[in-house]
Amino acid sequence: MSLPLKRLKQTRCFLLDMDGTVYLGDKLLPGARELLQWLTEHQIPYLFLTNNSSKNKKEYAQKLTRLGLPTEESQIFTSGDATIIFLKKHTPFQRIYLVGTPALEEDFSSHGFILTDQDPECVVLGFDTTITYSKMARLCQWLVTGIPYIATHPDINCPTETGFIPDIGSMIEMFAASTGRRPDHIIGKPNRPMVDAIAEKVSIPVNQMAMIGDRLYTDIAMGASGLLTILVLSGETTPAHLSNSSIQPDLVAPNLAGVVDWLKQPLP
């Protein structure tokens, strides 16, 4: 048995990407149900981890439960959650100009932040599927003043059943073209603030966790922080993308069913 497979068998916490890994749109992907059943039976904790900050924990838990995977809100961790933790732990900011969905606004407000477009101390860019031109113009106005600028995650596209739609990484490039500013901090996968927030939440060393996802530059790049990484080819990454990438996973499976097969293998 290879070293990565041995590490997989010894993993104490699994981090599961959602879009393109567990589901696409409203379609559950192969192996998702079986993997969670195996982890539950063996009392191994797992978190659903997503960079998609357009929804909150409640919405994700409801969706997974609707798809046949009963899920508690405590089992969801988003880049929005990690951004809130980062702001509270590392900054004094309270007044935020937030470009985000009503769900993200609700999360920030529930943690005591004042959301305003008048004299904010910081701007936060989330994946805003409700974005308007007036929001974009206002953000640009604040960015040129030099105000601190944080983005929840770096994803360029968001996968859907019908193809990709522009995500926050595309917005970052647009705002950079307009203002010359790029975020001072990008929080979500694969960046260290996301990893540190997860390790604190689960109280398990990073080198005893495994990240399973479909995207090289976010999910698999988390391996730089010491996690075991498993690429599934059920979402964004194709074999051609993988062969041409400088970012390489520890293991590759066609989907989560392949991960279940490995976990069921007895140790030699």
Q: Is 19 a catalytic residue?
A: yes
19 is in an annotated binding site: yes
Q: Say which of 19, 107, 128, 219 is annotated catalytic.
A: 19
Q: Residue 34 in contact with residue 260, Cβ under 8 Å?
A: yes
**CA–CA distance, 81 with 134 (Å, rounded to integer):** 26
167 is in an annotated binding site: no
189 is in an annotated binding site: yes
H or E element, residue 231? strand 228-232
The residues, ordered by sequence, that sit 6+ positions from 21 with a Cβ below 8 Å of its Cβ are: 29, 212, 213, 214, 219, 232, 234, 235, 256
Q: Is 81 a catalytic residue?
A: no
214 is in an annotated binding site: yes
The CA-CA-CA angle for residues 66, 49, 265, to 5°, reads: 90
Q: Count other C-beta atoms under 10 Å from residue 57's C-beta.
A: 21
The CA-CA-CA angle for residues 158, 73, 117, to 5°, reads: 60
Could you tell me the two tokens for 105? 């606004």
State the binding site for Mg(2+). Answer: 17, 19, 214
State the binding site for substrate. Answer: 189
- Residues serving a catalytic function are 17, 19
State the binding site. Answer: 17, 19, 189, 214
